[in-house]
């Protein structure tokens, strides 16, 4: 039976779609800091950039984005747009033209939020019940989804916690092979390896699990895969097998072929940020701290942490309010300018 399980903690909802013991999809939703995908805005043209094929635009919160267009846009003009790619990989929002509302505002304005990651997965798995461990989440969901909600004491059991946490690792067991993931600003490199004697068949056998890892981790953009133990001249024959393994991916990756050096090249559309980026960001680390304090019932009222962690917590008052409600005591934040980015202590 397919189920959607939403584990709620301060500032974050970790979502897993499961079929018995198999993990089908995952997502992270941060209600206080949404990624903005498919948000509907009225934006102001900030600077035309014809050489880049578009224009930089200004949103209501002074955030900027890029709008690809062939039209000649006049700086200062207001127009409507939707976010087609969340900010990620060091790049800002990307938008596309949309219909202007009947009553257009006179300044940049957010008109409507796009679907949350939980909405998106609920629409993908329309018959799956949605198990939540916090009744407050119902108020943040569309009315149409509320009949599918089922309250539970704990959305993630120990096995599901371990499966979700494993997606933050830079390695994954594919059965006969192991995959190592190396994200860079330009692309994501995946190295396949084995302690045994890998061959053509072992790579083919590993591709379905590799495709699953790419989907679960939401890896996107240009992806290069280095097969294990296959001579360069034989690697083009692997293309059809990798393409078949990726055929069920809802983002429809495009397997381009093998490069002259024998790397398998594919592209996967960028929409929401990849999981590794969400988990390792200051926001992700800060919310993990709140979850750890609650789970381990750590005593103390003063959290001392690095500049980036304190700023991340201060930028999400909704997460701090939820934490205070769950713990029944406030948390004082103290900034330590000499602390390393991920270090913290509770006293």
Residues 42 and 79: beta-carbon distance below 8 Å: yes
DSSP character string of 31-74: TTS---TT-EEEEEEEEEEGGGTEEEEE-TTS-EEEEE-SS-PP
Residue 24 has what pLDDT?
A: 97
C-alpha to C-alpha distance for 32 and 290, rounded to whole angstroms: 14
Per-residue pLDDT of the chain (347 residues; tens, 9 = 90+): 999 999 999 999 999 999 998 999 999 999 999 999 999 999 999 999 999 999 999 999 889 999 999 998 999 999 999 999 999 998 999 999 999 999 989 999 999 999 999 999 999 999 999 999 998 888 888 999 999 999 999 999 999 999 999 999 999 999 999 999 999 999 999 999 998 889 999 999 999 999 999 999 999 999 999 999 999 999 999 999 999 999 999 999 999 999 999 999 999 999 999 999 999 999 999 999 999 999 999 999 999 999 999 999 999 999 999 999 999 999 999 999 999 999 999 99
The confidence score (pLDDT) of residue 135 equals 87
CB 319 within 8 A of CB 290: yes
E strand or H helix at 280: helix 275-280
Q: What does the block give as tokens for 60?
A: 């209501």
Q: What are the Cα distances from residue 59, in Å, to 62, 68, 83, 96, 167?
A: 5, 15, 11, 13, 33
pLDDT of residue 85: 98
Closest CA to 116 of 21, 223, 32: 32
pLDDT digits (tens, 9 = 90+) for 53-102: 999 999 998 899 999 999 989 999 999 999 999 999 989 999 999 999 99
Question: Which distant-in-sequence residues (6+ apart) come within 8 Å of 184 by Cβ?
Answer: none
């Amino acid at each position: 039976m397919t189920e959607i399980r939403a584990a709620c903690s301060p500032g974050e909802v970790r979502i897993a779609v499961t079929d018995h013991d198999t993990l089908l999809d995952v997502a992270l939703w941060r209600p206080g800091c949404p990624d903005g995908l498919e948000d509907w805005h009225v934006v102001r043209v900030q600077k035309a950039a014809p050489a880049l094929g578009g224009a930089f635009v200004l949103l209501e919160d002074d955030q900027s984005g890029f709008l690809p267009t062939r039209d000649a846009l006049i700086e200062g003009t207001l127009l409507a747009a939707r976010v087609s790619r969340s900010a990620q990989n060091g790049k800002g929002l990307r938008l596309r033209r949309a219909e202007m509302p009947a009553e257009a505002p006179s300044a940049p304005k957010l008109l409507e939020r796009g679907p949350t990651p939980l909405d998106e997965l609920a629409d993908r798995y329309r018959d799956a019940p949605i198990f939540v461990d916090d009744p407050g989440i119902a108020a943040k969901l569309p009315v149409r989804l509320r009949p599918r909600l089922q309250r539970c004491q704990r959305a993630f059991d120990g096995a599901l916690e371990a499966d979700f946490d494993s997606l933050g690792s830079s390695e994954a067991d594919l059965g006969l092979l192991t995959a190592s993931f190396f994200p860079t600003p330009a692309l994501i490199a995946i190295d396949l390896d084995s302690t045994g004697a890998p061959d053509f068949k072992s790579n083919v056998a590993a591709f379905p699990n590799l495709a699953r890892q790419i989907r679960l981790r939401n890896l996107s953009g240009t992806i290069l895969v280095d097969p294990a133990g296959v001579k360069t001249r034989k690697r083009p024959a692997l293309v059809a097998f990798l393409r078949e393994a990726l055929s069920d991916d809802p983002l429809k990756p495009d397997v381009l072929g093998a490069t002259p050096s024998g790397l398998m090249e594919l592209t996967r559309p960028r929409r929401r940020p990849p999981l590794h980026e969400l988990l390792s960001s200051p926001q992700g680390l800060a919310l993990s701290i709140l979850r750890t304090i609650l789970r381990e019932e750590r005593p103390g009222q003063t959290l001392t942490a690095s500049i980036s962690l304190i700023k991340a917590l201060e930028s999400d008052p909704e997460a701090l309010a939820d934490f205070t409600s769950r713990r029944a005591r406030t948390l004082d934040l103290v900034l330590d300018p000499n602390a390393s980015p991920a270090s913290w202590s509770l006293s």
